[in-house]
Amino acid sequence: MDKTIGIFGGGQLGRMMAQAALPLNIQCVFYEANTDCPSAALGPIFSSKDNCLKSFIQSADVFSLEFENTPLNEVDTLLADEKNIHPPRTALAIAQNRLSEKNLFKRLDIPVAPFLAVDNLEDIHSAVDKLGLPIVLKTAMGGYDGKGQFVLRSEDQILQAWDELGDAKHLIAESFVEFSREVSIIAVRGQDGDVKTWPLAENHHHQGILSHSIVPAPNSDDLQPIAQEYITRLLNHLDYVGVLTLELFVTPQGLYANEMAPRVHNSGHWSIEGAICSQFENHIRAVAGLPLGSTAFISPTVMINIIGKHPNIADVLSLEGVHLHLYNKSERAGRKLGHITLMPKDPTQLTTLCQKLAKILPEPLALTEDMTI
């Protein structure tokens, strides 16, 4: 198939989508401010700094994105030119507003923590009275990797929270969820309505950034069908095409939805080697109108993010069962520079392999004591 897909954004997600597209004879082009971005080696970059939106739209047959905060006015310009974008604009608009997102979850009977809209200082006091403490204050728009959030544990923190987040004008207050772990379900829906889901990933964070994911999530056989049902409701309700991610908290009351991401997701990077068809290839297939591939996993897998500083490549590759992906990004504190997928022949060696890798990585890795799946 000879087709060109235009991608809003040129970061590592766009890079990996383009890598998956090439074997299918599908070319990708990118709309991105930084012309020296991770995707630059994979296709032409149309600079958003140079008002190249029209040229970008004319360069591709169909469009997608790698970042949920893609400006809606740019999507509207594309739609006015009668071009299609997957996922749909509706999904993008909802994902950009946490209040809209939580209300959608409620309408679809997907459990969420109690929440309230917050527009001023008085609303915070009201939220404390109605929801109790602690509560999590978040900006309704923007924020990722732990940014735009404040955990309010006592009333004497209210002014501090408002000082830090009040400039955003619209906030959301959520009851603090006591959860044992976070998991994510990733699914893909084709243009014909076919839906496929990957196994649940168990996600671990360090300083608000995803540190590593374990797949399949341990002790989750009873959670998998529930998570699949929730994400399938979202996909069908939104008439969605492409990959969608739903982050969930495991609580004593069951699964609670945290947020959705209308794109390929960091917790799904394991699927490049660990699944029969990766999230990236299946997203490209869906956007291009091709049949979806199997989402079955090949063997238990751990995906580890490389954050802040690059490791010694030779040291990493000296470990058996390791796959290294670097994004061609410069070092910076808190920046995702690449990821490592661990797939030893003997899955019982995952814990040992992770411990060896932790000694190699320059940034500390927050490992669980036991990685056995």
Bind-site residues for ATP = 98, 138, 143-149, 174-177, 182, 205, 258-259
Nearest Cα residue to 244 out of 263, 258, 259: 263
Paired with 214 in beta bridges are: 202, 302
Please list, residue by residue across 353-372, b when 16 or more beta carbons sit within 10 angstroms of its beta carbon and e when fewer do. Answer: bbebbeebbebebebeeebe
- Locate tokens 């009201």: which residue? 126
CA 313 to chain CA mean position, Å: 26
Amino acid at 185: I
Give me the numbers of helices (H) and strands (E) for the chain, helices first please: 12, 17
Length of the chain: 373
Pair of tokens at residue 189? 């829906």
> In the structure encoding, which two tokens stand for residue 210, read together?
């995803």
* DSSP-derived 3-state class of residue 144: coil
Give SS3 for 307. Answer: strand
Residue 207 CB neighbour total at 10 angstroms = 13
Q: Which of 24, 27, 32 is nearest to 8 (CA)?
A: 32
Annotated binding site: 98, 138, 143-149, 174-177, 182, 205, 258-259
Q: Which amino acid is at 150?
A: F
CA nearest 272: which of 290, 288, 295? 295
Residue 332: Cβ-neighbour burial (10 angstroms; 0-12, 13-18, 19+): exposed
In the three-class reduction of DSSP (H, G, I as helix; E, B as strand; rest coil), residue 54 is classed as helix
- Rounded Cα gap, residues 95 and 104, in angstroms: 10
Helix (H) or strand (E) holding 26: strand 26-32
For 205, half-sphere exposure in the C-beta direction (CA atoms, 13 angstrom radius) is 12
Q: Which amino acid is at 15?
A: R
